[in-house]
Amino acid sequence: MKLTRRASVALLVAAPMVLGAGTGFAASAQADPHTTQLANSAAPGLEFATRTGSVDADQQMKVAVSLNYRDAAGLDAFLARVNNPSSAEYHHYLTSEQFVARFAPTQAQVDQVRAYLQGKGLTVTDVASNRMLIDASGPVKTVQSAFATSESRYHDNKTNKDFTANDTAPSVDSSVAGLIGGVTGLNNHYQMHSYTQAPKAGAPKVGSGPGGGYTAQELRSAYGVNSLVSGGTDGSGQSIAMLEFSHFTQSNISTYDQQYATGSPTPTVVKVDGGDDDTAGDGVTEVELDIEVAHAIAPKANVAVYEAPNSDQGEIDMWNKFVTDKVSVVSSSWGSCELDDTASTETAVDNVAKQGAAQGQTFLSAAGDSGAYDCYRHSGTQSPNANNLAVDFPGSDPYVTSVGGTSLSEGSGGSYAGETVWNEGSTKWAGGGGVSSKFARPSWQTGPGVSTSSLRQVPDVSANAQNYSIYTVGQWTYVGGTSAATPFWASVLTLANQQAVAAGHAKVGQVNSTLYQLGSSSSYGTLFHDITSGDNLHYSAAANFDEASGWGSPKADALVPNLSGGGTTQPGAPAVTNPGNQTNLVGDSVSITAKATGGTTPYTWSATGLPTGLSIASGTGVISGKTTTAGNYNVTVTATDAAGKAGSASFTWAVSTSGGSCSGQQLGNPGFETGSASPWSASSGVVSNASAGEAAHSGSYLAWLDGYGSTHTDTVSQSVTIPAGCHATLSFWLHIDTAETTTSTAYDKLTVKAGSTTLATYSNLNANSGYVQKTFDVSSLAGQTVTISFTGAEDSGLQTSFVIDDTAVTLS
């Protein structure tokens, strides 16, 4: 009987000696652990390979075990707010310590996985300081046993390459499966490759560089960087990190710096997992190109070259190092075709990129050099996916800015004469771009030219991918590739960071949402070169955004001040402060004052796209009136100064007809004090009086799920409407008590969901002596009617009670 079992809970708490009698029962419940297969850690491409034998059982292996976020839904909601100009948290980034405390796995969870790996015979070699990654090693036979798989030697029949891989996806015990995001290092089928077009010594001379190619000054001149550098915006006090899987020679960098009088600091080297083990240095031109482009565009910035082995583990460990080192801007000229990559590697990198976005870091990655067919290789044997439309990872990740390629033409004195999409025809050298097969289109990816596909589109921006004059491997030459365009853009954003810091503003951080907002504004043409000709072997350039060139290349003298301050400006014009996206109901009275700085006062104000019923006062910038017509409006506010120069800011304005104002609490019977469930739907006996054996948080009633000590499931749920445009928070008070006190296994679980989104899962491991308030941002569900549900599932062993009280869905 339910009350009898719950009464025994009080006995167990009051008389600890009784727990000794339960220890044997708890142990027996764990004697038959179940395993869970980690499907995303299966080796890719085995269907194109032939197994040739087993791997030496005593050979040493290294693996990286990535962990899941403690509150993934909460992190996604925070990232949406920190990148939303209308949010109070806009650009209020977290420190790494705050991030770990708020979203990373708990130390207890990390210790649980560490102990699990050690219990399987593996040696834990490192635990990342952000608690998101555990490195381990051991003989092949131990790794096979630990993850219930086998390692074999294979021959790829398509690429004619030998490799090793796990025959099946690894499995782990169910006690830790919910904590582990994936296991990498089990296969070396595909490696990351760089996106540098080979040196062109002896090719026709383009630009005035020795050996051919555009000089540092010519690149700066064409894209409007010269005026910034000469004015002191030269990268001073800022840093750029380069993701590399090869070495460089400092004497080559010094020769470049002397030729172009960059005066750049000597790059530093950060070795990850012992650094690059490629003694042949096949990627040396890539690394030296990256450094020299940064020295050309942001000459006084500090460049840190991160080197790691070219393996899944090396890749993940390097990304993790970026966020723990809190590097401001990271440029990656290496990538993998999405279709060839290991899914667990992509998941682990995505997790790290999210932490970087929360901390205000900027990640950029080359879009690839094979046009819309990213799996195509210009040397060596072909991938089986070579003829399939595909995009490059990590550029396809929504928290990474993907950089495509163009062909730049210059006029006299290095002036800008035009650009087309980079495409060298039958050679299949072309700027990457297309539609991801792995990542959903993020909410910020909107604007003219962006397709309605539900998937992420790349590139986001582009720049010249040909004819960079560099000094590498002891000679002057010129090279190209999107791996030249990527450090170029990374350097431009570094200049924006310098201006932002000087003005007391936040750094640009995860810049994608800002780029799309600016691309959609009426001042787009003053900030970007819109690439409208050419194609990348499949997608054609067009006005505004396209999958061949993104939003185009930068007009840096206008774009950098905008990125650092938040308004769209012409050089020397007023900078309009973006008021953020607005929401109202039909009939609301509005009074908002637009503001600007700089230029020559007084300003004359104008606006386009205002909601029906509103107008702007030309002399004061006050937007006022009463909204009369529902709809979604794209508004641009412009300040024209006394010298005739104009600056503007663009934002959205949503006017709704229903849903009430954005205030108040939306749940019915939130504290269950009516004594019945309605309007909640609940299992029998869930809504209880406190006298039944559990104390209420307040009042006399509560929702009591489980506590039987036998296999049982209880639910309580209620539908609620969250009006469009409102910020909404779900909160409740939770008390968990349990007799499962001698285990590290989550036997009994409570799942909290809003619609189909799982907000959190709690278990007997989260037992506490009193109530704890839990709070979740559910603003992403605005405009919907969703069901808030609590589901408690108890196994056949000792009891766990999940007690909920004082719920609320609060609008603001």
Domain 44-69+104-184 part of CATH 3.30.70:
yes
Per-residue pLDDT, 545: 97
Tell which CATH architecture fits domain 193-566: 3-Layer(aba) Sandwich (3.40)
Tokens in use for 423?
């495409």
Tokens of 97: 């310590």
Phi-psi region of 305 (alpha: psi -120 to 50; beta: other; left: phi over 0): beta
Mind giving me the DSSP string for 424-476? -GGG--B---EEEEEEEPPTT--STT----SEEEE-SEEEE-S-EEEEETTEE
Model pLDDT, residue 446: 93
How many angstroms separate the Cα of 112 from the Cα of each of 107, 136, 180, 747?
A: 8, 14, 11, 15
Q: pTM to 2 decimals? A: 0.67
Phi–psi pair at 740, nearest 5 degrees: -85, 70
Q: What is the mean pLDDT of each run of 10 residues along the chain (812 residues)?
A: 31 27 27 71 88 94 92 91 77 90 93 96 94 94 95 88 92 92 88 62 69 93 92 94 93 96 96 71 84 97 94 88 94 92 88 95 96 86 85 96 96 90 91 95 94 95 95 91 96 94 86 92 91 97 97 94 62 69 73 80 87 90 84 80 77 68 78 81 87 80 91 92 84 94 92 93 92 91 88 93 93 82
For residues 499 and 558, the answer to whether their CB atoms sit within 8 Å is no
Distances (CA, A) of 701 to 9, 203, 697, 698, 707: 19, 82, 9, 8, 17
Q: Look at the block and give the residue holding tokens 């719950």.
A: 6
CA-CA distance, 620 to 594, in Å (whole number)? 8
Quick count: other Cβ atoms within 10 Å of Cβ 385? Answer: 20
Distance CA(3)–CA(9), nearest Å, equals 10
Q: Which tokens is 29 given?
A: 């419940």
Instruction: Indicate the class that CATH gives domain 575-656.
Output: mainly beta
In the three-class reduction of DSSP (H, G, I as helix; E, B as strand; rest coil), residue 722 is classed as: strand
By DSSP bridging, strand 614-616 and strand 622-626 are antiparallel
Burial (CB count within 10 angstroms: exposed 0-12, middle 13-18, buried 19+), residue 153: middle
* SS3 state of residue 346: helix
Which residues on adjacent β-strands are paired with residue 788?
A: 718, 754
Q: Give me the residue spans of the domains in the chain.
A: 44-69+104-184, 193-566, 575-656, 664-811
Domains 575-656 and 664-811 share a fold: no
Kindly report the CATH number that applies to the domain delimited by 664-811. 2.60.120.260
Q: What is the DSSP letter of 441?
A: P
Distance between CA 296 and CA 298 in Å, rounded?
A: 6
β-bridge partners, 458: 434
The predicted pLDDT at position 692 comes to 72
